[in-house]
Structure 1
C-alpha cells in the first residue's frame, strides 16, 4: 500500500472534497459535471478474468505509480476501507458498489488542498484496472476533464496501458474503447418533467448519442414523468467516435440543449402554470418547517422543491449549492458518522431506535439550514 492511507471515518470525512458546496456555472440546471477515463494495463487480463495474484500485482503497480506524488494521493485497498467510509464515497457518487467485489480492489483519493472543488477519485480493478474520475460543481466539462487528463499523463510515465492503433485504449466494455472517456452531468429538470416533455427530450438526446437516466431512481407513482426529485444523469454512450476534444465539444452542445430546453419550459410555467407549480413547491417548503422525522426520499423531495422554487423566483436568501450541500450531508452514512461522534438528546420514545434517530437528525439539520429562507410571491 502506498501514499497516505488513513481512511478512518474522521479522516475520510475531513478530506472528502465536497464539490457540492461550491457554486458552479449554470447551477440552476446543472448540478455537477463528471469526467471519467478508463485505462487497463498491458499484458494483464481484465478484472473479470484475472487471477488473484495478477490482480494484486495490478493494484501494486497502480498504487506505486500514484505514490510518486505521495503528498497528493491517498491509496487504500477495499478490505482496509471501513464500511462507513465506503458508504460515504458511495453516497457522494464517487464509487459504485461493484468495487466492493473487485479482485484486489482499491481506491485512490486526491488530497491536494489547492483543488478542493474537485471530487477526484480513481478505482482499481473495478471492471477495468484503472478508472479515473473527477466531479466538479455546475457545468465544468473542461475542468473535470483536465484533472483526469493530468493524472492520466502522470500514470503513463510509469505504467504501460493496453491500446491499439485501430481501437485506441482497450477496455472491458467495448463502448468505452477508443478514448476511454465518458462524460456525464447531473441535471435538475423539474419544469421539463412537469410539462411532460421528458420523452421528447430523451428522443432528441439519443440522436446525439447521449443517454438520460434517473439520477436517484424513478418514482413510479408519478404520472407527470417526475423522477425522485426530477434529477437526471445525462451521459455519453460511446467513446470510439472522434477524439477527446471532439467528444467534449459534442457533449457540451448536448448539455447546452438540455439547459435551453429547461429554461424554455420554465418560461412556459411562469406564464401559464404558476398556481400548480407553487402548490408543489410550497408543500415541499412546508417540509422544512414542520414535522420531526424525515426520510431520505422526503429530503430529496424538499431539495427538488426548493431548487425549483429558486428557479421560479419564489425564494430569497437561498443558493443552489446550499441546497445540494445539505442534501449530501443528510445521507445515511453521513448521519451515522455524526451520531457516532457526538452526544445528542432525543425524545424518549426513540432513544433506542437508531433508524428514527437518523430521521430526527436529518429533519433537524434541514430545518436549521433553511430557517432563514424568505418567500417572494
Structure 2
C-alpha cells in the first residue's frame, strides 16, 4: 500500500491523463463511475460510525479479489490514517471527491497502482467505482468498470431491485447507477463566447457541464466536465452513446472556433499565446488560477501551431503539479504561506518549460 500511495502523491501524471487517446488535443480523459450499495446496510448518510466501520471491514478483501483478475496491484487506504494534505492531493488528482476527503473517519479508498481504477468507500454510496481512460474513450472505460463491478457483485450482495435497478443514495443515480463523463479543454469556445450556448444545448440533451473538479466548481483553465444527468430508465449503452455524440459535436465546434481565431485574428491570437508563454517562462510568482489560465492559452497555441517551443503534454503535467496541495506535498517542508506557494509554482513552471 505504501508504494502505491507514495506514487499517487508524488507523480504528477497518471496514464489516463498522459494523452494519446482519441481526440486527445481537446478531450483529456473519459470516466465511467458506478454507484453501488451493500444490501441490508444503511446508506452512508444514515449510517452510524459503527456501521460505517462494518462496511469498510466487509470490503477489505476487495483489493485481493480484483487483483486476482488483473496484472495490476490494488491497495485499500483508510483515509483517517493518512494526512489531510495527502487526502487533498488525491482530490486534486481526481481520485477522491472533496466530500470524501472532508470526512475521513471509517472511509476508505481502493485504488489500482496506476490510478486508472479507484473506488471510494463510504462516500455518498458504499461504493463509488470509477474507471478512467485517456481521450474520448468511454467504451473502454465502461468495459473495465463492468468487469470490476461483476467481480465485486460475485462476492458481495448489492442493493438491487429488478424493476428499478441499483439503489443509490441520490435518486438521480437510481437505475444503472452510472455517471459517464469526459474532461475537455475548450479554450476557443470560451474565447469566442460560445460556451453558454454549448452548456444550454447539453442541458437540453440531458447532460450537465461542470468545472474542473465537478459539481459546484469553476472551469479553471477552460477545462469542463460533461456528464449525463439521469440514469433511471436509460441503459448504459444509451447513456454512453448520447454523451459520446454530444461531446463529438462540442469537439467539432471547438475546432471550428479554433480555426476562426486562427484565420480571422492570427496576430491577436499569436500575441495572446506568446504573452502567456512569456509570463509562464519568466514569472517569479504565479497563483493557481493564473497558472492554469496561462497554460490553457499556451496549449491552444501549441495545438494551432502558433508556438512550437514546448510539447502538448506539458499542459497535462502542469495541470496537476501546479495545484496547491501537490506543491505543498512536493516541497516536503512546513506548511507554506500563499506567497511561498506562488513562488514555488512559478519555479516549477519555469523549470518544466526549460526542460521542454
User: Which TM-score applies when normalising by structure 2?
Assistant: 0.89
User: Do the aligned residues in 1 keep the contact of 2:79 with 2:106 (CA within 8 Å)?
Assistant: yes
| Counterpart position of 2:212 | 215
Structure 2 residues without counterparts, runs of 5 or longer: none
| Cα pair 2:36 2:166 within 8 Å, conserved | yes
Question: Which structure has the greater CA radius of gyration?
Answer: 1
Map residues 44-55 of structure 1 onto 2, 5 A cutoff. 44-55=41-52
Instruction: Decide whether the 8 Å contact of 2:56 with 2:108 is kept in 1.
Output: yes
Cα gap change, 1:22/1:359 in structure 2, threshold over 3 Å: closer, same or farther? Answer: same
Show CA shifts across 1:111-155 (max 9, x none). 2xxxx4x53211011010000012222211122222222211110
The 2-side partners of 1:310 and 1:14 are apart by 24
Contact 1:47 1:102 in 2 (8 A): no
Map 1:92-111; keep pairs closer than 5 Å. Answer: 92-99=93-100, 100-101=102-103, 104-111=106-113
- The residue matched to 1:293 in structure 2 has which SS? coil
Report the more deviating stretch, 80-89 or 39-48. Answer: 80-89
For the aligned residue pairs, the C-alpha RMSD in angstroms reads: 2.6
Q: 1:181 maps to what in 2?
A: 178
- Alignment correspondent of 1:277: 269
Tell me what 1:223 maps to: none
Contact 1:332 1:358 in 2 (8 A): yes
Distance 1:332 1:271 in 2: 37
Q: How many residues align?
A: 349
User: Distance between the aligned counterparts of 2:12 and 2:252, measured in 1?
Assistant: 36
Q: Which deviations, in whole Å up to 9, do the C-alpha atoms of 1:331-363 show, x marking residues without a partner?
A: 22222222217xxxxxxxxx9965433322221
C-alpha contact (below 8 Å) 2:66/2:151 kept by paired residues: no
Kept in 2, the 8 Å contact 1:8–1:82? The answer is no
Distance 1:245 1:239, change over 3 A: same
C-alpha distance in structure 2 between counterparts of 1:228 and 1:21, whole Å: 19
Comparing 60-69 with 14-23, greater Cα deviation is found at 14-23
Q: Does 1:26 align with 2:9?
A: no
Point out where structure 1 has 5 or more consecutive residues left out of the alignment: 219-225, 342-350
Task: Give the aligned partner of residue 368 of structure 1.
Answer: 351
Distance 1:254 1:261 in 2: 11
Distance in 1 separating the partners of 2:48 and 2:355: 57
